[in-house]
Amino acid sequence: MSFSKKRRVKFFYDSSAGVYNKRYQEIQMIKYTILLRKTHEIRSLVVDVGCGTGLFCELLTMRGFRVVGIDFSIEMLRRAKKAVTLQKVFLVCCDSDFLPLRGNIFCGAFSVTLLQNLPNPMLSLNEIVRVCKKGSMVHLSVLSKSLNVKDLEILLSQAGLRDIEVFGSLGSEDIYGHGKI
């Protein structure tokens, strides 16, 4: 089941990469703005897991971050390569359940509308926690039609995060959560 679902998701994003920004940029920018309000406690190197076409990566670089952008779709990353400042963003094509990164290196992590696409979101959450330094923040969003506030709180808690806050937002289709490692 999990490999089949991942293959369908990868096919969807590979085939929609050319029109993704035109179709979803407006709603994605609302999500990014909400998450950017929480970046004051993060410094330096961050990871964007599920970076897609790189829009959020580029916004993060404008705030002074160096970013590693992770995505499963090579076509989305091809778009991202054209959109980001490559001196400040390093792009990696991989499965978020198995990040090919050393542990304990990032000062923060972001993931926008990724977890609902995964057969077992805990695998990716555990990987995000593994690659981040103790005391760093994880910020994410999920589609509200796939998870509710309580479910997201439980996931973040099971991943070992503390000081968890989960909230919905008007004007957005997502619920948001963050917590400290």
The predicted-structure confidence for 83-113, as pLDDT tens digits, reads as follows 888 888 999 999 999 999 999 999 999 999 9
Residue in 64, 69, 71 with CA at minimum distance from that of residue 42:
64
Are the C-beta atoms of 96 and 124 separated by less than 8 Å?
A: yes
- The predicted model scores a pTM of 0.92
**Pure H helices in the chain:** 2-36, 55-62, 74-83, 121-131, 149-158
Q: How many CA atoms lie within 13 A of 164 on its CB side?
A: 18
- Region 51-75: mean pLDDT is 95
Please state the rounded mean pLDDT for residues 135-156.
Answer: 94
Look up residue 95 and give its amino acid: D
pLDDT band at 175 (very low <50, low <70, confident <90, very high): very high
pLDDT in tens, 24-42: 888 899 899 988 887 776 6
Q: Kindly list the domain boundaries of the chain, sorted by start residue.
A: 2-180
Domain 2-180 sits in CATH 3.40.50.150: yes
